[in-house]
Amino acid sequence: MRRLHLWIGLAGVVAFLLTGQYMDRRLGHLAGMADLPRMLYRSAHIYLLLGSLLNLLLGLYVTDAPAGWRRWARRIGSVPIALAPLFFIVAFAREPHFAGSIRPYAAPALEGVLFGAVLHAISHVGSRGTPTGAPYGTDI
C-alpha cells in the first residue's frame, strides 16, 4: 500500500499544479465568475492538494502493522484516502457546473479522508513498534 500511496500522492500533486494552471490560463484566474462556481473550483482545487499530500505522507511514512486488527485498520483506512484525489479531480471538473452547492464528489471524499485518517491514527495508538514522537517506519 505504501508505494501506491506514494504514486497517488505524486500524481495528485501534479494534478493540483495542472488544475491551478487551468484556472489561471483557461478561466482567467476565475475573474468575473459568479461566487458559487468560483468557490467550488477553488475548494476542489485545495481539497485535491489535501488528498494528494496525505497520500504522499502515507507513501513516505506508513508501515504495515503486525498481523491483527491494526493491519486491517490501516488497510481499510488506506482505501478512501487513496481514492480521494480521484474524487477531488472529478469534483473540480463537474461540481462547479451543478445548480446550487451540491457536492456529490467532494463531500464523500472528505468524509473518506476523515474516516481513513482516524483508522490510521487508531491503529497506531498504543502500538509498541515506534518510539514516541518518531514518524512511522523510522529505526532509532
Handedness of CA 8, 14, 16, 22 (dihedral sign): negative
pLDDT of the residue at 54: 97
pLDDT of the residue at 131: 46
Helix (H, G, I), strand (E, B) or coil at 139: coil
Q: Crossing angle of helices 2-21/69-94, nearest 10°?
A: 20
Amino acid at 47: Y
pLDDT of the residue at 140: 39
| pLDDT < 50 regions, the chain | 131-132, 139-140
Q: In the structure grid, which three cell numbers stand for residue 49, read together?
A: 492538494
Q: In the structure grid, which three cell numbers stand for residue 120, read together?
A: 490510521
**pTM metric for this prediction:** 0.86
Q: In the structure grid, which three cell numbers stand for residue 90, read together?
A: 472529478
Helix (H) or strand (E) holding 108, with range, is helix 106-124
Tell me the domain boundaries of the chain. 2-124
27-49: pLDDT as tens digits: 999 999 999 999 999 999 999 99
CA 23 to chain centre: 20
